[in-house]
Amino acid sequence: MMKLSKLKKISFLWILAGLLSCQNEYSPKPRGYFRLEVPEADYQRFSPGDCPYSFEKNTTARWIDKNNCWGDIYYPSIKARLQLTYKPVTEKNLETLLQDGQDLALKHQVKADGMRERIYTNQEQSVYGILYKIEGDAATSSQFFVTDSTHHFLRGVLYFYAAPNADSLRPVNNYMYDETVRLIESLEWQNSSP
């Protein structure tokens, strides 16, 4: 008898608490994403150490040296990195480098909603290459490779320290695409080997 009375009291308190808490109309918040602030665009000519190339780098980004003229351009405020890999061109490896650059970009078509290619030709600076813009929830949204066809080959891949979500990353993807274009358009080769 005692247990039933205690159970009734507890049930009554829960029902009363539920009724009292529902006095105001509840409206769920819409699903959204944090607002991302992209860094200011302020550039200076940059050459990573003794590497045979230079470009205009955003002053808010940091160079993280990996080795042998490889490194990351890291944007701390948006947790993005543009990973650069450099290889010297020989008479035997140019075709392989070009094929690898294209194959690595095309691997992302499995997860991509689409892919656009932008061809670069700068005869004055001997910079020739392709920039890939990858749409959708792929691991990267931008990749490129450029070469002078005789001495230098540079490949870049954009990564974020976040799960791929095209909707939430759209502002920073667009910003980083513009940063990548700036790098390619300002790229200059030096004649020396690394």
pLDDT tens per residue, range 111-153: 656 678 899 999 999 999 999 987 877 667 789 999 999 999 9
- Please tell me the number of Cα atoms within 13 Å of 156 on its side-chain side: 27
Q: Looking at the 3D structure of the chain, how many domains does it have?
A: 1
Model-wide pTM > 0.85: no
Question: How much is the average pLDDT of 104-108?
Answer: 68
Per the domain annotation, does 138 fall within a domain? yes
pLDDT(193) > 60:
no
Is position 185 within any domain? yes
Structural domain contains residue 131: yes
Is residue 61 situated within a structural domain?
yes
Chain segment 13-32, per-residue pLDDT in tens:
777 666 666 656 666 666 66
Q: Is there a domain that residue 117 lies in?
A: yes
**Does 189 have pLDDT greater than 90?**
yes
Residue 50 located in a structural domain: no
Domain span holding position 164: 56-189
What confidence tier does 91 reach under pLDDT thresholds 50, 70, 90?
Answer: confident
The CATH number that applies at residue 142 is: 3.40.1000
CA atoms of 117 and 119, how far apart (whole Å):
6
Is 68 a domain residue? yes
Residues 184/56, Cβ–Cβ less than 8 Å = no
Q: Would you say residue 105 lies in a domain?
A: yes
Q: Which pLDDT tens digit goes with each residue over 33-69?
A: 556 677 788 999 999 989 999 999 999 999 999 888 9
Neighbours of 21 (CB within 10 A): 9
If pLDDT is split at 50, 70 and 90, which confidence band does 192 have? very low
